[in-house]
Amino acid sequence: MEKFPESSSKGTKRRRDEDSDAGNTSSLEDDLTFTDTSVALRIMRAQFPHIQKGSVEPFILKSQLYSSVKDRTQVDRELESLRRDKVLRLFKLNTGQDDHAVMFLDDYLNQDTKWFSVLRMVFLMQCSLLSLGGKTRQLIDPNMYWFSIPNIGSHLKGIVQGRKEIISLLSRRRYKEMMLSSLEKKRLRTSPLDVRFHLRDLIGSGHLRTDQAPTGLIIRVSKD
């Protein structure tokens, strides 16, 4: 299995407060688009924001891949191929829209072993009840089991609130736009995830669009 680089974790909390892009020195403008889904996944994994409280292994939103690889059919096809090859796993997120997270299988297996111990205990209790004639609730398929990403709860809230904060920030500006170089320096109040993470998501989901200007890349709110 191909090995991928570890997430960046440089900078102290104080430095992170001053600059939400600490540890990720390159601008989003330098690596916004890719021709290969695997390359985009590797870069985004490496740039996943380092968060001390409620830590979670790096994950990538499918919308972020859509922002970087223009052919969405290609993204879906390559993700399915990587899933079949047991390189990664896809998770449906409960964030109010059709969001899916992508996590490399190695990272998923590195999650808190205590969580898996609890899951195993629940599974064994369920099997015990069935053997004694007890009833359990079945969801869709009795042979299907639902897994979640441990510690992701606060991040799901951050995804939703971060989206709203960035859209609100741009909507208050006269032309509902801002230079990417300036926007990247903003520190979000409502999300533990950084601006880079949210911009990729919002561009890929169609809420924001990019335009090239002589002075650099401009981020604009998409028209309704």
pLDDT, tens digit (0-9, with 9 covering 90-100), for 55-64: 788 999 999 9
Ranked by mean pLDDT, the top range of 139-143, 152-156, 213-217 is 213-217
For residue 88, the cross-strand partners are 104
In this structure, the number of other CB atoms found within 10 A of the CB of residue 67 comes to 23
* pLDDT tier for residue 6 given thresholds of 50, 70 and 90: very low
Mean of pLDDT values over 23-51: 83
Q: Residue 93 has which token pair?
A: 């997120």
Query: Is pLDDT above 50 for 198?
Result: yes
pLDDT of res. 33: 85
Counts of helices then strands in the chain (DSSP H, E)? 9, 6
Residue 119 has pLDDT above 60, yes or no: no
Q: Work out the angle at residue 41's Cα, subtended by the Cα atoms of residues 36 and 44, and round it to the nearest 5 degrees.
A: 125
- Alpha carbon distance 16, 20 (integer Å): 5
Per-residue pLDDT band for 28 (boundaries 50, 70, 90) equals: confident
**What is the per-residue pLDDT for 143?**
56
What is the b/e burial string over 208-218, where b = at least 16 CB atoms within 10 angstroms of the residue's CB? bebeeeeeebb
Q: Using CA atoms, how far apart are residues 213 and 211, in angstroms rounded to an integer? A: 6
Question: 204: which residues sit within 8 A by CB, 6+ positions away?
Answer: 61, 62, 63, 64, 65, 66, 67, 68
Which helix (DSSP H) or strand (DSSP E) does residue 222 occupy?
A: none
C-alpha–C-alpha distance, residues 50 and 6, integer Å: 11
Whether the full predicted model's pTM is greater than 0.85, yes or no, is no
pLDDT in tens, 183-193: 999 999 999 99
Strand ranges of the sheet holding 208-213, from the earlier edge strand across to the other edge = 177-179, 216-221, 208-213
- Beta strands 88-94 and 177-179, pairing class: unpaired
Q: Average pLDDT of 108-132?
A: 59
Strand partners, 208: 221
| Beta carbons of 195 and 183 less than 8 angstroms apart | yes
Give the mean model confidence (pLDDT) for residues 30-52: 88
For 70-88, write each residue's pLDDT tens digit.
899 999 999 999 999 999 9
What is the bridge-based pairing of β-strands 177-179 and 98-104? unpaired
